Amino acid sequence: MTATTTSAEIFVGLGALTPDDVLAVARRDARVTIGDDALAAMAESRAIVDSLAASDRPHYGVSTGFGALASTYIAFEDRARLQRSLVRSHAAGSGAEMDREVVRALMLLRLSTLATGRTGARPIVAQTYADILNAGITPVVGEYGSLGCSGDLAPLSHCALVAMGEGDARTADGTLVPAATALAAAGITPLDLREKEGLALINGTDGMLGMLLMAIRDLTALVATADLAVALTIEGLRGTDTVFAADLQDLRPHPGQAVSAANIRAVLDGSGLISTRSTMPFTRVQDAYSLRCAPQVHGAVRDTLDHAALVAGRELASAIDNPVVTLDGRLESNGNFHGAPVAYVLDFLAIAVADLASISERRTDRMLDVSRSHGLNAFLAADPGIDSGHMIAQYTQAGIVSELKRLANPASVDSIPSSAMQEDHVSMGWSAAVKLRRAVDGLTRVLAIELLSACRAIDMRTAVSDDAPSPVARSVIAVLRDRVAGPGGDRHLSPEIAETVALVRSGALLDAARDTAARAGRSID
């Protein structure tokens, strides 16, 4: 049985979870059920671990210490205590509390690896994780504590600690309580870990992978939103759409570029503000790079997302632990917990995010500059001089873009040796994931400000011209105007930015654009 998504339930079996499965549990509280095939596989591999636990031979994680202490032999009577001690000592996180969706994804992905039967954990361990998820209990996990190698150790340890009935957790309504209280209220018996199980619960790339999956989903919508934003900006600036012709894109056959150009054409279809269709004279031979080259930049982001999705899919199909129980029954150490594959694409996406935001900010600045906006009021102000219009909104964009450039500095090029040089090269993938989440939020805000300004520019054009914007632009402006008033004298601008950010984050503006384009036989992908 493979993992499949229903409207309210995710089945975790021997097949790989899908990104939709992970997001359903992390963001929509879908229930988790473990398949019989997974339970059988776990019981089979557990029998192997039990046989090794009865042996006098040292086996890493069963009868030895961990990391640099791997050469320390553990007596029979101390091996259960070894697992509890491991979890308690490794639950050493610090810093701001991670978002609920991150922790839920973290736990589900660890559960998915347990369900492969390759970790040697008992079925009850996986079932306890499923019960915690289904009860809406969220372990408190700090921002710091993972080096992205030997797994996301501290974050996963805090989850395992809660399964043991220790540490702190939040209930389904967000109340902070001791873990024992949360488990008791949900009727969940705390785990009494046995040989190897503590190690099985903390050795994985689950946190960085969960954050990668969420970033891919969010950025897929945001790059389409960026296509929408540039098209509306082109209308506001009375630019040209000829450069987006399909045959011109075909001369450079990057797939993402073709999609972005098609999206821009779909938004601009039927616009009377485009210079090649307008009744007004046109003297510009070509638009600036931030307009003309949008498909090339946006398309490169799309292609980067496709590569990231490929890596994420491979990671979803992985069974990451150390040591692992092999299919032929061996217990073997390995290096599959190293987060480099995930860390690299997390950093790659942060670079793409910074550049996508940068080109958006340049377009906004062009609309505000009277020397480059082709007839718009300075700063889109109703009465320039008395009013400042969107002057400082661009400052906000610039501040965010500057931070995004700092966040684009890759975490994965850094490595700080740990565990007395036993773990002498680490991925920093968790750090790459955390900064990417911040970058995605920043991009959302930058695109929202461009859309807010572009809609204002279009409204200002149509107030003094008989030329009408495209049907898609009209539908997007209508949705925005339900929340944000049209051009006028200066108002408190921050709430208007916040409303637009909310519309971008919810997808409402993009949905309006897609619905209108679909009625005209076009699509926005």
Catalytic site positions = 60
β pairing state of 331-332 and 324-325: antiparallel
- Asked whether the beta carbons of 341 and 315 are under 8 A apart, the reply is yes
Angle between helix 508-519 and helix 471-481 axes, rounded to 10 deg: 150
DSSP type of residue 62: T
SS3 518: helix
Burial class (CB in 10 A: 0-12, 13-18, 19+), 488: exposed
Integer Cα distance of 494 and 356 in angstroms: 23
Residue type, 311: V
Output the CA torsion sign for 81, 84, 86, 92. Answer: negative
Please, which residues have CB within 8 angstroms of residue 306's CB and are 6 or more apart in sequence?
Answer: 255, 256
Backbone angles phi, psi at 418, to 5 degrees: -145, 175
Integer Cα distance of 290 and 72 in angstroms: 61
Angle at the Cα of 352 from the Cα atoms of 94 and 303, rounded to 5 degrees? 120
Task: Look at the block and give the residue holding tokens 């059988």.
Answer: 40
DSSP notation for 451-482: HHHHHHHHHHHHHS-S----HHHHHHHHHHHT
Question: Any bridge partners for residue 384, and if so which?
Answer: 387
Task: Look at the block and give the residue holding tokens 């992205």.
Answer: 148
Backbone angles phi, psi at 351, to 5 degrees: -65, -45
Burial class (CB in 10 A: 0-12, 13-18, 19+), 8: exposed
**Token digits for 39?**
């339970």
